[in-house]
Amino acid sequence: MTTSLRPLSVLALALLASAARAGEPSVNIYGFVDVAVGKEAGQSGTHLLDDAGSRLGFKGEQDVGHGLTASFQIEARFTPQTGEASTPFWKGGAYGALAGDFGKVIAGRWWSQAFLKSQFAADPFGEATVGLNYGTVGCGGGTCVGAFWVNNSVSYENSFGPVSVGVQVAEKPASGGNSPVNGGVSFAQGGLYVGLGYEKSGQGDASWSSGTVNYDFGAAKLYSGYGTGKDNAGASHRNAIVGIDVPIGDGHLIGAYDQHRVAGVTVTSKAALGYQYNLNKNAKLFATIADDAKAAANKTGYDLGLIYSW
């Protein structure tokens, strides 16, 4: 019996030695608080706003030997106006991952790969302030065709020089249907960024295809994006966005126009202009005005606020 266990003992000692050589775990606390006064286009009255989605997160990684790195991330969202936590509590990413020469595999709740590679990049406001544009994710007319986060998913990510790719598949929803799937690819070199994304929600024939082409000239960065697809009810969606970001002093002047059509009818026609001033690398002040010509009432929105990150 002792003889039969000897190879296992040798293997165990080898693994322990490998673990001892591996790096120490590194855990970081990160997040930001977004506080502003204003109102959304289509909203009445002045309110405290948190359009960027204030959050507190923890992420860490460790070299576990064998050429592998293990990592995790958990991210909570909260409302700074009241201190209340969002539901679910870990509304942001919540995953475990393993990376190596093969790329990175992520299991848990994570961003849609189509969102990461294409949709987010198309919005010069970065999905923040009243200038944000959810239309890039296929949102309009009270429904979103695309997804921001995907639960119960497994993602694969890798980069090859200037090209980054990602694919994701999730469990079938309890309500029925097929497994949600999505993918994205991007190319970034010099001032050029090109991103493509495709996703199927698993509900009927619902799908969303998106693309973005941006170019940074230095004196200004131009944005453009287009999306097309149909929702669970079979209604067609089309979205187009153009934008610009111009560095001025210690800040940026940002503008965008976004149009979303559902079943051939324009439901969003939003123009926004804002200035964001960097107090330092962690804090910035912002002021934005936005107007949605298709809002039923109170077409103009505005905000004045601060985002502090750590």
Give dist(CA 305, CA 290) in Å, integer: 15
Tell me the two tokens of residue 108: 């848990």
Domains, the chain, in order of start with CATH, read 26-309 (2.40.160.10)
107 vs 71, 91, 162, 163, CA distance in Å? 11, 15, 25, 22
81: which residues sit within 8 A by CB, 6+ positions away?
Answer: 35, 48, 50
DSSP string, 54-107: -EEEEEEEEEEETTEEEEEEEEEEEETTTTEEPSSTT-S-EEEEEEETTEEEEE
Tokens 């001892």 correspond to: 20
- pLDDT for 173: 84
State the burial class of residue 138 (Cβ atoms within 10 Å of its Cβ: 0-12, 13-18, 19+).
buried
The pLDDT tens digits of the residues spanning 84-137 come to 999 999 999 999 999 999 999 999 999 999 999 999 999 999 999 999 999 999
Q: What are phi and psi of 64, to 5 degrees?
A: -100, 10
The pLDDT tens digits of the residues spanning 181-193 come to 999 999 999 999 9
- pLDDT for 4: 43
Low-confidence ranges of the chain (pLDDT < 50): 1-20
- pLDDT for 177: 85
- pLDDT for 18: 46
- pLDDT for 22: 54
